[in-house]
């Protein structure tokens, strides 16, 4: 599990971007599963995508960002931890009723980043 250092909303994205401590070699845009552990609450499992931390560069260099699909940043409280894993099950975790969602690979292609 990894500590959530910061959570914020990115305009036009359906979910919350989180900065977590540590880094991995998971490529940007990878489809993943996130298990959110908030003290005093049930564990919540959501689809996640690894994304760049923009426009918020953090002081720590060993951080990475993930878009947690369908979560509001108000759901992430102090002391929250996240467990990120790859899973085929996450392909089915995204609702087909959210066509306005732009995922990391699409956003990168649109912006040229």
pTM, whole model, 2 decimals? Answer: 0.71
Determine the structural domain holding residue 100 and report its residue range.
Answer: 2-111
Q: Residue 28: name the closest of 101, 105, 103, 89 by CA.
A: 105
Please give the pLDDT value at position 102: 42
What does residue 98 show for φ and ψ, rounded to 5 degrees? -120, 60
Q: What is the mean pLDDT of residues 63-79?
A: 91
Place of tokens 């369908």: 70
Our count of domains for the chain comes to: 1
Cβ atoms of 76 and 37 within 8 Å: the answer is no
- The CATH number assigned to the domain holding 62 equals 2.40.30
pLDDT, one tens digit per residue, over 31-68 is 999 999 999 889 999 999 999 887 555 555 688 999 99
Q: What is the 3-state secondary structure (H, E, C) of the chain?
A: CEEEEEEECCCCCCEEEEEEECCCCCCCCCEEEEEEECCCCCCEEEEEEEECCCCCCCCCCCEEEEEEECCCHHHCCCCCEEEEECCHHHHHCCCCCCCCCCCHHHHHHHHCC
Confidence check: pLDDT of 100 > 50: no
Least confident of 58-62, 66-70, 73-77, 102-106: 102-106
């Amino acid at each position: 599990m990894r500590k959530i250092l910061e959570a914020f909303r990115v305009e036009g994205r359906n979910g919350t971007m989180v900065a977590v401590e540590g880094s991995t070699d998971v490529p940007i845009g990878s489809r993943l599963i996130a298990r959110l552990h908030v003290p005093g609450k049930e564990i919540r499992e959501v689809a996640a995508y690894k994304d760049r931390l923009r426009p918020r560069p953090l002081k720590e260099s060993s951080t990475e960002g993930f878009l947690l699909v369908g979560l509001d940043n108000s759901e992430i409280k102090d002391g929250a931890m996240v467990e990120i894993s790859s899973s085929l099950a996450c392909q089915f975790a995204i609702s087909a009723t959210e066509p306005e969602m732009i995922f990391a690979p699409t956003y990168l292609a649109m912006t040229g980043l």
